[in-house]
């Protein structure tokens, strides 16, 4: 796993002065950084149906974008195009390992690792993103320009490409292998490859109220909650039939507020909603599943690795009861497994030593066995 070095500031400085505030180049954030997968492997992934990918290039000066899967790249030539593959952390363990160096940001904020391969002159054009991104340069050099926040016009340069007008740069830097460019949401930016190059973008996306509330509405329906009707016994006579008066407005709001004020409900919703993946997991169920204590025996010999993209969370509100959320499901391992829940959700690798204190808890063994059998965790070779 690559180790992150912040040569000019500490993680605390980064979080208080840059995170969500301003872009910065972190020179040699990863020393001796090498591509986590090769351009050929990336091109191969983009041929798979389940993998989300795009090609971006220009024809006669006009921007073009195509969605994968792709069958061939031969027609594209040697320059002026790039291939972008989303959520590669789901498909390649080496790439999933790139998330860990950024674990000073909680995993629920993490979106995916996007990789782009670009030929000389290639890039996606000037644009604005809604997420925080650490663009980690792999092989080859790429020039990045980043502009300041402002009223930047956005327009469709192609049906699938939202661009922004040219901007003055506050950062204009050539990135080499191991350099990292951090860009918060809203800053216009553009990368143009100077050579054949690879970049690995670790993206963090926050949530909007509309997204959370629409998820909450689904949660309430699925769990048959929140169906009580607004009650208004002993209401005074109404004189203006068309009016929603202040008292009724307060009743309407109070009914919704009561849902939001129910901490147990919101904790359960947040855990399950945030632990859902936005794209497929590369799940490989075992042909010969583990039974009983077999799994514990195997754990004495090999550690368990969490499948790339699998999201595992607990919420402070309920973790003492041993509750955790994995891939959108709630698991109740019991208060005795409180520590095991922390170990499961806070670590990518589970060793025997890490879990030893709870390996006599039947609920943990049963759950872990199910998770390994369905492919959520797998044994390191």
Binding residues for Co ion, rule: CB under 5 A, are 129
Q: Which partner from the list ligand SIN, Co ion, none does 191 bind, CB cut-off 5 to 8 Å by kind?
A: ligand SIN
Give min distance, CB of 23 to Co ion, in A: 11
Give min distance, CB of 184 to Co ion, in A: 11
Query: Is residue 86 close enough to count as binding ligand SIN by CB under 6 A?
Result: no
- DSSP per residue, 258-286: HHHT-HHHHHHHHHHHHTS-SS-------
Whichever of 142 and 306 has its CB closer to Co ion, that residue is 142
Q: Which partner from the list Co ion, ligand SIN, none does 164 bind, CB cut-off 5 to 8 Å by kind?
A: none
Whichever of 64 and 351 has its CB closer to ligand SIN, that residue is 64
Give min distance, CB of 10 to ligand SIN, in A: 26
Backbone torsions φ then ψ of 132, nearest 5 degrees: -85, 135
Alpha helices in 5-162 (DSSP H): 11-17, 39-45, 93-96
Which positions from 115 through 134 interact with ligand SIN, judged by CB under 6 A? 116, 123-124, 129
Environment class of 359 (CB within 10 Å of its CB; exposed 0-12, middle 13-18, buried 19+): middle
CB neighbours (10 Å) of residue 93? Answer: 16
Give min distance, CB of 74 to ligand SIN, in A: 21
Whichever of 136 and 326 has its CB closer to ligand SIN, that residue is 136
Nearest to 136 by CA among 65, 191, 83, 81: 191
DSSP type of residue 235: P
- DSSP per residue, 322-355: TEEEETTEEEE--GGGHHHHHHHHH-SEE-HHHH
Q: Which partner from the list Co ion, ligand SIN, none does 282 bind, CB cut-off 5 to 8 Å by kind?
A: none
Q: Which residue is nearest to ligand SIN (CB)?
A: 116
Whichever of 129 and 282 has its CB closer to Co ion, that residue is 129
Q: Which partner from the list ligand SIN, Co ion, none does 116 bind, CB cut-off 5 to 8 Å by kind?
A: ligand SIN
Give min distance, CB of 145 to ligand SIN, in A: 11
Which positions from 179 through 238 interact with ligand SIN, judged by CB under 6 A? 189, 191, 199, 201
Give min distance, CB of 247 to ligand SIN, in A: 50
Please state, in angstroms and rounded to a whole number, the distance separating the CA atoms of residues 230 and 107: 38
Q: ∠313-314-315 over CA atoms, to 5°?
A: 125
Nearest to 309 by CA among 171, 112, 143: 112
Query: Is residue 137 close enough to count as binding ligand SIN by CB under 6 A?
Result: no
Type and span of the H or E element at 255:
helix 246-260
Please state, in angstroms and rounded to a whole number, the distance separating the CA atoms of residues 307 and 282: 8
Give min distance, CB of 103 to ligand SIN, in A: 22
Which tokens in the block code for residue 189? 């930016």
Whichever of 178 and 191 has its CB closer to ligand SIN, that residue is 191
Please tell me the total number of residues recorded for the chain in this structure. 381
Give min distance, CB of 191 to Co ion, in A: 8
CB neighbours (10 Å) of residue 249? Answer: 10
Half-sphere exposure of 154 (CA within 13 A, CB side): 14
Query: Is residue 82 close enough to count as binding ligand SIN by CB under 6 A?
Result: yes
Q: Which partner from the list ligand SIN, Co ion, none does 82 bind, CB cut-off 5 to 8 Å by kind?
A: ligand SIN
Which tokens in the block code for residue 316? 């402070």
Q: Which partner from the list ligand SIN, Co ion, none does 2 bind, CB cut-off 5 to 8 Å by kind?
A: none
* Alpha-carbon distance values, 58 to 122, 144, 284 (Å): 9, 19, 39
Whichever of 129 and 148 has its CB closer to Co ion, that residue is 129
Give min distance, CB of 116 to ligand SIN, in A: 4
| Binding characters for ligand SIN, 265-304, by CB under 6 A (x = yes) | ----------------------------------------
Query: 3-class SS at 177?
Result: coil
- Interface contacts to ligand SIN, rule CB under 6 A: 82, 116, 123-124, 129, 189, 191, 199, 201
């Amino acid at each position: 796993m690559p180790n992150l070095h912040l040569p000019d500031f500490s993680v605390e400085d980064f979080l208080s002065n840059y995170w969500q505030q301003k872009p910065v180049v972190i020179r040699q954030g990863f020393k001796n950084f090498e591509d986590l997968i090769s351009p050929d492997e990336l091109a191969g992934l983009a041929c798979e149906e389940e993998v989300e990918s795009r090609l971006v290039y220009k024809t006669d000066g006009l921007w073009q974008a195509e969605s994968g899967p792709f069958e061939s790249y031969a027609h594209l030539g040697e320059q002026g195009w790039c291939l972008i593959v989303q959520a590669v952390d789901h498909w390649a363990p080496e790439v999933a390992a790139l998330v860990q160096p950024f674990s000073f940001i909680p995993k629920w904020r993490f979106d995916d690792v996007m990789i782009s391969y670009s030929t000389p002159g290639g890039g996606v054009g000037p644009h604005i993103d809604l997420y925080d991104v650490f663009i980690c340069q792999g092989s080859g050099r790429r020039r990045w320009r980043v502009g300041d926040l402002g009223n930047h016009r956005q327009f469709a340069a192609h049906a699938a490409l939202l661009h922004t007008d040219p901007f003055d740069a506050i950062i204009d830097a050539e990135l080499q292998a191991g350099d990292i460019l951090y860009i918060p949401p809203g800053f216009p930016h553009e990368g143009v490859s100077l050579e054949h190059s690879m970049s690995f973008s670790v993206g963090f996306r926050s949530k909007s109220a509309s997204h959370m509330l629409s998820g909450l509405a689904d949660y309430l329906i699925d769990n048959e909650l929140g169906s009580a009707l607004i009650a208004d016994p002993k209401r005074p006579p109404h004189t203006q039939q068309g009016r929603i008066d202040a008292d009724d407005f307060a009743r309407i709001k109070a009914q919704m507020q009561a849902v939001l004020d129910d901490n147990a409900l919101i904790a359960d919703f947040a855990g399950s909603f945030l632990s859902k993946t936005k794209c497929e997991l590369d799940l490989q169920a075992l042909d010969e599943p583990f039974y009983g204590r077999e799994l514990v025996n195997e754990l004495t010999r090999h550690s368990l690795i969490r499948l790339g993209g699998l999201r595992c969370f607990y919420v402070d509100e309920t973790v003492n009861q041993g509750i955790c959320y994995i891939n959108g499901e709630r698991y109740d391992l019991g208060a005795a497994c409180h520590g095991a829940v922390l170990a499961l959700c806070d670590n990518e690798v589970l060793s025997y030593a890490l879990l030893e204190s709870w390996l006599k808890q039947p609920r943990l063994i049963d759950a872990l066995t199910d998770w390994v059998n369905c492919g959520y965790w797998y044994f390191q070779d």
